[in-house]
Amino acid sequence: MENDMDEKFEDWKGKEAISGKHGGIRAASIVCVVVMMENIVFIANGFNFVKYFMGSMHYSPATAANMVTNFMGTSFLLTLFGGFIADSFLTHFPTFIIFCCIELMGLILLTFQAHNPKLLPDKGKTPSTLQSVILFTGLYAMATGTGGIKASLPTHGGDQIDRRNPRLISRFFDWLYFSICFGCLLAVTVVLWIEEKKGWMCSFDISVGILASALCIFTVGLPFYRFKRPNGSPLKKIAIVIISAARNRNKSDLDEEMMRSLIPSDKNFGHNKLKWIDKAMLNKNISETEVEETRTFLGLLPIFGSTIVMSCCVAQLSTFSAQQGMLMNKKLFHSFEIPVPSLNAIPLIFMLFSIPLYEFFGKKISLGNNNRSSSFNLKRIGLGLALSSVSMAVAAIVEVKRKHEVVHNNFRISVLWLVFQYLMLSVSDMLTLGGMLEFFYREAPSNMKSISTALGWCSTALGFFLSTTLVEVTNAVTGRLGHQWLGGEDLNKARLELFYTFSGDKTYPHCLDLPQLKAFLHYSYDASNTSLAVVFSAPPAKPGGWIAWAINPTATGMVGSQTLVAYKDPGNGVAVVKTLNISSYSSLIPSKLAFDVWDMKAEEAARDGGTLRIFARVKVPADLVAKGKVNQVWQVGPELGPGGMIGRHAFDPPNLASMGSLDLKGDNSGGTISGGGEVNAKIKNRNIHGILNAVSWGILFPIGAIIARYMRVFESADPAWFYLHVSCQFSAYVIGVAGWATGLKLGNESAGIRYSAHRNIGIALFTLATIQMFAMLLRPKKDHKYRFYWNIYHHGVGYAILILGIINVFKGLNILKPQDTYKTAYIAVIAILGGIALLLEAITWVIVLKRKSNNSMKPLRT
């Protein structure tokens, strides 16, 4: 019998594992093969989602890049959830099976969408609500499945190796990383070549086949595996230790005899630090082992945090480099054209050859023995982090070279220029990610191998989310300068090289995100000549429409406004700017303003009805200078009228609320427009109403339902699940009532504006939720004869609230008409909650069936 350092392993029948029969190189090799196959699917789709989202779904480059980084980031972040399930409730085998099925279902859904033209948007249009729901459900089902797989497979493979042979464990993780790279190589060469020739539908079909085959291969290896049975939630134990240490922080130190009794485990990492945790042992229910495991896990977190920036570099180069490559010369020979994503094959080939070399030299370097120390892996990670910075500098240099040749010589440089940045980043990735996987596995407490290994992937996730944040912040800030670095659909007009290097540029000192019509204002006030330099940008209501910005010296509305209007000249398509002195609603023809204006210019920021910008400098009247504020009005319209007149704009709430006061010195309440009177107050109330109801009916109520349905199956969660469920639903009800009350107030203040369906559903939700609150008062005991009818009442009302709540949130979004990002974000939240519910449903059935099986096998007492 094999006993790995006092850890007990079982075979698939629940019997003690036998050395030579269970585990070993054979079982670990199966894991490497499955890792390779799963990585083919993940990488082949991940690298080309940018092209798919731009070409088939018609998203902008920045949006497509963010969607991919969000998908990949979510995939890696959910490894923590998968690791928690594997370490706490299931072994790694059923965890993999469940999550692999979820990923497969998501991939099948995306394949179905790719095969059905009705589920794809028309040319020039972004997806409809139904198409978005299908896309994001499939996408984030894949992300959920990938997270569970990546958390369970490396740990499962490591558990097959004898812990008394650390050198063999190190070799396993080196070859596991080799399998990851080899899967990437096949993905960016064979699979992507087929996709280039046969199209996306064929690529999806191949991915489904590969993932299904991986599931079968892993299942076939069941008789050869060995398993370590979970022993409850390790995170719960860590929380108890930390809470106990915090409660005992003011008590006297442990006596010397107790301190001497703290025998260090086999780990050398961090046991001389975090001494405050020792006070947890003043609680007699907490063992020395639990304290040491907590100390070890907390010691891993700084290493985890330091690797996030490198992952951000990976995200940026893997998305924007593909877009760079699309604008470069992809021909290697006269008849051979390189698919852009296949450029990744060059560094991958280098990595595949370097891993055996690394194995050889690593053995020589690691203190001349067969065991790599913790410091060796830490140095490996540190070197990788340094190289990630170098890779970004190289990327910026290449982008400067590419744009220079395009702009000045009308020449496309070879796509092979991207090899330099790919090579630097790949070496960085090999050192950092490969080192993290081994480091976190070896240094982790024995009952937290999956969660700790997931930290390596979670670092990648946070890097991808940081990448998304950088893109959004960069576009928001630079857009206020008059030109987004990463905006529009033409990368030649973007400033990617500045994004890579974070170089500065001249800016207006005051930038406002105006609250209506997706408009921005950037301005500076020169007190020496009392002039106001402005850049106003907004998208017209429709292609061929107009935008306008005005100062009203005498009032707050349209009449009296001294207006600058920009539109595209119908004759030559060039953006022009005109002035309008609007003395009445019928006087909308070009006319001279009441004050001087100069340096006027208009430009189109994006084609096909994209954003227009107005540049101008206006002389501020003396009376307004004395006040220090001006009344501004802005507007957008769908078309031009006859004779050069601007056409009628819409009278939707955003159009009626596009006004406010502008402080000349920039004191605009922290960067948002101030003033606006009753209109702005109403807009604020509308936003509060939307946020309260979205959080209540659209998010908290579904979460409470998930808790009630799925947490009760875990015996360790009883009765905690009940209190969580009640707290969640009661909080949702209180927030929902507040949102409902703001809706009533808005209705009373909005004479003539009625949204009957939205209002009626809201009343129904309030009524049903109030009835549901009485369920706690009327709840009979479990064995009461009326409990069956109470369950029907409670569940029926609950599901009605869930369905109506989500429907009404979407109706509210359609009324408020916020930026598409908010609607997309809510769709993603619902998709994630649905994926979690699907996953927990599968886990619930596994546990229930297993309990029934165990109960049927118990011998009858005589």
227 shares a domain with 238: no
604/858: higher pLDDT? 604
- Cα distance between residue 323 and residue 47, in whole Å: 11
Amino acid at position 389, single letter: S
Last residue of a domain, one of 429, 460, 479: 479
In a domain, 326, yes or no: yes
Look up the domain containing 799 and give its range.
Answer: 679-857
585 shares a domain with 725: no
751 shares a domain with 825: yes
Enter the tokens of residue 619.
């002389």
Q: What is the CATH number of the domain that holds 119?
A: 1.20.1250.20
In a domain, 10, yes or no: no
pLDDT, one tens digit per residue, over 315-331 is 666 656 666 666 677 67
419/497: higher pLDDT? 419
* Res. 859: pLDDT tops 60: no
Average pLDDT over residues 138-156: 87
330 shares a domain with 442: yes
The most confident of 51-55, 549-553, 838-842, by mean pLDDT: 549-553
Beta bridge partners of 663: 629
DSSP state of 269: S
293 shares a domain with 317: no
In a domain, 88, yes or no: yes
**How confident is the model at residue 498, as a pLDDT?**
43
779/673: higher pLDDT? 779
379/810: higher pLDDT? 810
In a domain, 131, yes or no: yes
Average pLDDT over residues 354-363: 67
Q: How many domains does the chain have?
A: 4
Q: What is the CATH number of the domain that holds 647?
A: 2.60.40.1210
Average pLDDT over residues 381-393: 74
> Residue 158: CB partners within 8 Å, gap ≥ 6?
28, 169, 172, 173, 441, 449, 453
Across 204-218, 453-467, 661-675, 696-710, least confident range: 661-675
Average pLDDT over residues 340-355: 69
* Res. 292: pLDDT tops 50: yes
Would you call 246 helix, strand, or coil by DSSP?
helix
> Could you tell me the pLDDT band of residue 782, with boundaries at 50, 70 and 90?
confident
In a domain, 4, yes or no: no
Would you call 613 helix, strand, or coil by DSSP?
strand
791 shares a domain with 811: yes
Last residue of a domain, one of 249, 279, 297: 297
Enter the tokens of residue 450.
């999956």
Element (H, E) at 293: helix 288-306
Average pLDDT over residues 143-156: 87
The most confident of 190-199, 365-374, 629-638, by mean pLDDT: 629-638
Q: What is the CATH number of the domain that holds 852?
A: 1.20.120.1770
DSSP state of 284: T
Residue 78: Cβ within 10 Å count: 29
**How confident is the model at residue 405, as a pLDDT?**
75
- Cα distance between residue 423 and residue 22, in whole Å: 40
CA distances from 710 to 230, 469, 721, 725, 798 (A): 19, 33, 9, 11, 15
223 shares a domain with 250: no
* Res. 461: pLDDT tops 80: no
Enter the tokens of residue 519.
């408009």
Place of tokens 């107009």: 546
Contact 218, 34 (CB under 8 A): yes
376/401: higher pLDDT? 401
Task: State the distance between the two ends of the chain, measured CA to CA, in whole angstroms.
Answer: 34
455/1: higher pLDDT? 455
690 shares a domain with 637: no
Say how many residues make up the chain: 862
Amino acid at position 108, single letter: I
> Could you tell me the pLDDT band of residue 587, with boundaries at 50, 70 and 90?
low
Q: DSSP for 796-819?
A: HHHHHHHHHHHHHHHHHHHHH---
Q: Is pTM, for the whole model, over 0.85?
A: no
186 shares a domain with 332: yes
**How confident is the model at residue 468, as a pLDDT?**
64
**How confident is the model at residue 503, as a pLDDT?**
30
Region of 561 on the Ramachandran plot (φ > 0 left; ψ -120 to 50 alpha; else beta): beta
* Res. 162: pLDDT tops 60: yes
* Res. 753: pLDDT tops 50: yes
120 shares a domain with 78: yes
220 shares a domain with 93: yes
DSSP state of 640: B
Element (H, E) at 243: helix 234-247
> Could you tell me the pLDDT band of residue 682, with boundaries at 50, 70 and 90?
low
Last residue of a domain, one of 658, 675, 692: 675
